[in-house]
Chain A
């Protein structure tokens, strides 16, 4: 699986959009970009995933650059409950089944 690079930490004001970047310059054509988050010591929570098109669901939007070498997770109206560690993971479509977690980005939403 391709390696990802994320900032160690970020801050965002409550009510504003939180934009979390991820670099995955070695991503290959059959790898998806997944985002999970972990609130305190809870189990990782799935947020969103995509291959090459931008995606949106009730939690977030995922913007993937045209060359697929980076992506941005957008939480449109961050709340205090969005404070968590956010993980960007790239994963092959077939074959290896495991998720490989990095250190992620610790996002703090400030009141």
Chain B
């Protein structure tokens, strides 16, 4: 069964450093998403991406964040200058379309900013 994959599974970085989290969505999916979950808190939406453009973003997704689909298979989340509060699990998801189409999630990347 096709699944969303994410790398790395764990990332430790120093405050102020740039990190890139990578995702490979399910191959025939067209919509891509990033969510995050700070330890002990809710899963929060960050951004959705379609047709090489951001289609929706949350207040969390400020200028420090960017997303890119550099090739036909990868979808990346970049945090330009990490802060301690960026420590969280980051989940990528994909779906075939918007609306009622089901989003399928990857296993996540645990980011720890020191």
Q: Hey, which bits of chain A sit against chain B, CB under 8 A? A: 32, 34, 38, 41-46, 49, 87, 91-103
Measured between beta carbons, the chain A residues less than 8 angstroms from B110 are 41
**Are B43 and A101 interface neighbours, CB within 8 A?**
yes
**Are B48 and A46 interface neighbours, CB within 8 A?**
no
- For this complex, 17 residue pairs linking A to B, each with C-beta atoms less than 8 Å apart, are A38-B43, A41-B110, A43-B107, A43-B108, A44-B43, A44-B93, A46-B104, A49-B102, A92-B99, A96-B56, A97-B31, A97-B33, A97-B48, A97-B56, A99-B93, A100-B45, A101-B43
- Tell me the count of chain B residues lying within 8 A, CB to CB, of chain A: 27
**Are B99 and A94 interface neighbours, CB within 8 A?**
yes
Task: Find the residue from B31, B33, B56, B103 having the highest chain A CB count within 10 A.
Answer: B103
Measured between beta carbons, the chain B residues less than 8 angstroms from A38 are 43
Roughly how many angstroms separate A42 CA and B104 CA in the complex, as a whole number?
12
Q: Chain B 81-114, CB within 8 Å of chain A: the 1/0 string?
A: 0000000010101000011101111111010000
Roughly how many angstroms separate A41 CA and B48 CA in the complex, as a whole number?
22
The smallest beta-carbon distance between B4 and chain A, in angstroms, is 8
Q: Which of B16-61 contact A (CB under 8 A)?
A: 31, 33, 35, 37, 42-45, 48, 55-56, 58
Q: Hey, which bits of chain B sit against chain A, CB under 8 A? A: 4, 31, 33, 35, 37, 42-45, 48, 55-56, 58, 89, 91, 93, 98-100, 102-108, 110
**Are B43 and A97 interface neighbours, CB within 8 A?**
no
With A101-B42, A101-B44, A103-B42 already in contact, the answer to whether A94 and B91 are too (CB < 8 A) is no
Measured between beta carbons, the chain A residues less than 8 angstroms from B98 are 94, 97
**Are B100 and A42 interface neighbours, CB within 8 A?**
no
Roughly how many angstroms separate A93 CA and B98 CA in the complex, as a whole number?
8
Roughly how many angstroms separate A97 CA and B49 CA in the complex, as a whole number?
10
